[in-house]
């Protein structure tokens, strides 16, 4: 009996369905997870009747006063929602998840009928499928977090997955969202990693891989916070797994810059700023992963974090004291100074001790954008 109850809350789907381009709202995605957790994948059933009360129990964080209206809207959107899949032939196949949908105000239920194209992706799966425990990720509150979680769980036995930036955009359904990678990373990738690490059973650490001057791939290293008996198992006991220390960026070589040129001098400071910021972020992410295992950074790495913090504050102070034009900075290669730094240039203090104090108060778990606002 207990075993059947556990199976009831497993979300199982074909890897081919996971690796499609999906543009769903948060409620739509939760609706799909709820349905997938209730069906029996070994017994094909094209129609499913959803009880609103059961859905509400799965996601207790949602407001019950409006949950029926939200579900009614979500099932209507799902009915019109198309899914794009890259076939083995390299062509793009488009299909719909649902063939029919029905609801009646005040009845407390919704009826969904899967399309013929969807059926083989969720029923009678014998190979190349992924199983997730709903309880492990039901508190994720972002559609990007949920999609990234799915993509990582495909490789749960490996403990890492490398995805090209192009493919990740496709999977998340945001090919045209935040076209500049810096904004895509800031608004999509990093918040998703942070939320997954805080609200699910996984801890995620990202490595950004460059080809020439551009980031082309992301390697997601992850492990399960639960013990090795967890259904989602990475084949390693968390307490025994050694977390790999991230590699750090090299300091920009001053010999590569012409300091007689004012623009080049500014570019050098920008590159140093980016170097310190990136290494600070890497060590902070590493520190968070260690804390999950009740471990700490080494004294050497703690000193490095302080150094990067000091360098960040010092470079920022130099921009202010030299009164370098932000308009000029924005036109320079790399475009490191973004709108957050523009705001900071008007109202943030350049006192290094205050910045270090802010870092300590927030347990050194925040990004530079928070430090200098």
Residue 322: the pLDDT is 67
Band of the pLDDT at 261, cuts 50, 70, 90? Answer: confident
Residue 240: the pLDDT is 39
Q: 307, 301, 310, 296: which is closest to 283 by C-alpha?
A: 301
Residues 358/371, Cβ–Cβ less than 8 Å? yes
User: Domains plus CATH for the chain?
Assistant: 1-137 (1.10.10.10), 139-237 (1.10.10.10), 251-371 (no CATH)
Q: Which residues contact 325 (CB under 8 A, 6 or more apart)?
A: none
pLDDT at 175 over 80: yes
Mean pLDDT of the chain: 79
pLDDT at 338 over 90: no
Place of tokens 């913090």: 309
pLDDT tens track for 35-94: 999 988 888 899 999 999 999 999 998 988 889 889 999 999 999 999 998 887 888 899
Helix 26-38 to helix 67-80 angle (10° resolution) is: 90
Q: Pick the residue with more confidence: 251 or 353?
A: 251
b/e per residue 129-161 (b: at least 16 CB within 10 A): bbebbbebbbebebbbbbbbbbbbbbbbeebbb
Mean pLDDT of 185-192: 94
Residue 321: the pLDDT is 65
Residue 235: the pLDDT is 35
Strands 47-51 and 82-86: unpaired
Helices (H), the chain: 2-8, 15-18, 26-38, 52-58, 67-80, 119-122, 134-137, 143-153, 165-172, 181-184, 190-199, 262-291, 299-321, 326-331, 339-347, 352-361, 368-371
Residue 225: the pLDDT is 81
pLDDT tens track for 91-132: 889 999 999 999 877 788 899 999 999 999 999 888 889 999
Q: Pick the residue with more confidence: 133 or 241?
A: 133
Residue 207: the pLDDT is 92
Q: Which residues contact 361 (CB under 8 A, 6 or more apart)?
A: none
Residue 160: the pLDDT is 92
Residue 343: the pLDDT is 36
Residue 323: the pLDDT is 61
pLDDT at 324 over 60: no
Distances (CA, A) of 181 to 172, 187, 270: 14, 10, 17
Q: Pick the residue with more confidence: 117 or 346?
A: 117
Farthest CA pair distance, the chain: 77
Residue 290: the pLDDT is 81
Mean pLDDT of 155-178: 92
Residue 186: the pLDDT is 92
Q: 240, 207, 43, 233: which is closest to 133 by C-alpha?
A: 233
Mean pLDDT of 131-141: 94
Mean pLDDT of 219-233: 64
Q: Which residues contact 116 (CB under 8 A, 6 or more apart)?
A: 99
pLDDT tens track for 290-319: 877 778 889 999 998 888 888 877 776 676
Residue 90: the pLDDT is 80
Q: How far apart are the first and last CA of the chain?
A: 54
Residue 48: the pLDDT is 92
């Amino acid at each position: 009996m207990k075993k059947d109850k556990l199976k009831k809350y497993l979300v199982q789907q074909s890897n081919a369905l996971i690796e499609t381009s999906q543009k769903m709202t948060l409620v739509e995605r939760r609706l799909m997870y709820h349905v997938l957790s209730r069906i029996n994948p070994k017994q094909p059933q094209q129609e499913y009747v959803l009880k609103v009360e059961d859905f509400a129990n799965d996601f207790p964080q949602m407001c019950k006063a409006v949950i029926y209206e939200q579900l009614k809207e979500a099932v209507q959107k799902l009915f019109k929602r198309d899914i794009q899949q890259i076939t083995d032939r390299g062509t793009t196949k488009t299909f719909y998840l649902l063939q029919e949908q029905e609801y009646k105000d005040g009845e407390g239920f919704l009826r969904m009928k899967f399309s013929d194209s969807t059926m083989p992706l969720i029923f009678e799966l014998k190979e190349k499928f992924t199983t997730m425990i709903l309880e492990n990720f039901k508190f994720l509150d972002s559609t990007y977090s949920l999609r990234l979680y799915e993509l990582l769980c495909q490789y749960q036995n490996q403990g890492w997955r490398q995805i090209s930036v192009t493919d990740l955009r496709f999977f998340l359904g945001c090919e045209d969202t935040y076209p500049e990678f810096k904004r895509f990373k800031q608004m999509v990738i990093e918040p998703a990693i942070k939320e997954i690490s805080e609200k699910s059973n996984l801890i995620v650490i990202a490595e950004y891989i460059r080809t020439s001057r551009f980031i082309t791939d992301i390697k997601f290293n992850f492990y399960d916070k639960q013990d090795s008996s967890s259904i989602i198992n990475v084949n390693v006991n968390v307490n025994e797994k050694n977390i790999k220390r991230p590699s750090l960026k090299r300091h920009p070589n001053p010999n590569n810059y012409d300091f007689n040129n004012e623009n080049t001098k500014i570019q050098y400071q920008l590159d140093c700023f980016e170097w310190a910021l990136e290494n600070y972020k890497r060590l902070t992410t590493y520190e968070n992963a260690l804390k999950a295992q009740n471990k700490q950074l080494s004294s050497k790495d703690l000193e490095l974090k302080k150094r990067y913090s000091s360098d960040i504050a010092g470079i920022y102070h130099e921009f202010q004291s030299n009164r370098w034009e932000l308009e000029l900075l924005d036109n320079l290669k790399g475009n490191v100074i973004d709108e957050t730094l523009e705001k900071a240039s008007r109202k943030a203090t350049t006192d290094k001790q205050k910045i270090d104090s802010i870092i300590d108060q927030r347990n050194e778990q925040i990004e530079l954008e928070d430090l200098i606002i």
